[in-house]
Amino acid sequence: MKKAYILLTDGVEEMEAIAPIDLLSRAQVEVIQISATDSLSVTGRSGITIQAEKTFEQIQNNEPADLLILPGGPGHKHLRGNEEISHWIQKHIQADKYVAAICAAPVLLKDANVLPQNYTAHMSMIDEMPKIQKDEAVVIDGKCITSRGAGTATQFGLTLVSLLCGREMEKTISDSIHWEI
């Protein structure tokens, strides 16, 4: 069974966390929700509480998962400058695992010195990341996947399903969540 970690902190953009968790879970990927706070309870930017399964402290020394997901939102600021988080991101890249970041979270890839040449992010990050690909909802460069923000969260999640489980599984899940008249 494939395994993914998703790193949550207070101020996380809920859509950017929940869409990948839901879509990957539908594909039978084990998604372990990790709190970067002292509590398993994380409050998102819109006040929605998300219950994590583990704290970062409990899991940081574990082997890398097949995929590490970094959702954005204003909470990304709590993770910046955290050397342990940067090291954990680097550990996944060095193990040839996927790392996916959406919205403002690609700046964490930059901080960890693993930001690929081709990437996208929320336009609020343009001053720090001037080479954002503005016309792309999701950009894949090697093992790094980046996406623009809440409005691209479903496409981002489906891309992650495709990478871990194949295009057929992505199509099956996409078909199941899209309803046409």
Number of folded domains in the chain? 1
Taking 70 as the threshold, does the pLDDT of residue 138 lie above it? yes
- Tens digits of residue pLDDT in 10-57: 999 999 999 999 999 999 999 999 999 999 999 999 999 999 999 999
Place of tokens 């949550």: 8
CATH number, residue 46: 3.40.50.880
Q: In this model, does residue 179 exceed pLDDT 80?
A: no
Rounded distance between C-alpha atoms, residue 114 and residue 41, angstroms: 29
Q: Could you tell me the CA-to-CA distances from 9 to 51, 96, 164, 170 in Å, in that order?
A: 11, 25, 24, 28
| Strand (E) or helix (H) holding 41 | strand 41-43
Tell me which residue range forms the domain holding 152.
3-177
Whether the CA torsion 91, 140, 73, 173 is positive or negative: it is: negative
Q: How many CB atoms lie within 10 A of CB 63?
A: 9
CA 24 from centre of chain: 12
Q: Residue 48: phi, psi to the nearest 5? A: -85, 130
For 45-101, the pLDDT digits (tens) are 999 999 999 999 999 888 999 999 999 999 999 999 999 999 999 999 999 999 999
First to last CA, the chain: 35
Does residue 162 carry a pLDDT above 90? yes
Its pTM stands at 0.97
